[in-house]
Amino acid sequence: MNASALTEDSIAECDAPINEARLWSGKGWTARVIKNEDDEGWAVSMTLDGEAEPALVGPWTMGRDKKNPKPLDAAAFATLVKTASEVLRRHEQARHAQLHKALTLNQATGRLRITLDIVADEDDPHAFLAAFDAAGDELARVRVDAGFVLSAASASAWVDNEFRRPE
């Protein structure tokens, strides 16, 4: 279909949910029942709209004839959407935990929260080391190498060195 032939109705058709035995789409996801190449069974893949790779691939139940897959239905699709969304959420949480670290130091002057925020830039990876007082006010922020290891010892050394950039 060329661009001039697109109408509001045809665009809406493209976004309409698909409810077929081996293909369902809706809620931003597409479920596809596929032949499991590793064995005689079937698998289901869940792909978030706009993504090239599935977020989740798992085994799929055989039908009554023990040869063909069980057809997708609304309940199964809803469960798959929930499970795939949870997988993505966990991946995001793990990625966040890798890039953002924090610890608390008890100093004579009070409690400090030290953070390390890694900027995973392909061309210029780096991080920011920052110190906050008990009220949450930022006391210092310096740029460090992306490989800087935040530990109680490195944070204490930074504080003792009056927040100068660690070497």
Which residues on adjacent β-strands are paired with residue 57? 45
Which residues on adjacent β-strands are paired with residue 23? 32
| CA 41 to mean position of chain CA atoms | 29
Amino acid, single-letter form, for residue 32: R
Question: Is the model's pLDDT at 6 over the cut of 70?
Answer: no
> What six digits make up the tokens of 13?
């058709």
Q: Cα–Cα distance between 46 and 25 in angstroms, integer?
A: 9
Q: Are 49 and 84 in contact, with CB atoms under 8 Å apart? A: no
Whole-model pTM above 0.75?
A: no
Q: Cα–Cα distance between 84 and 77 in angstroms, integer?
A: 10
pLDDT in tens, 130-146: 999 999 999 999 999 99
Q: Cα–Cα distance between 150 and 147 in angstroms, integer?
A: 9
Cα torsion 128, 130, 136, 138: sign: negative
> What six digits make up the tokens of 16?
């309409």
pLDDT in tens, 33-76: 998 877 778 999 999 999 999 999 999 988 888 888 999 999 99
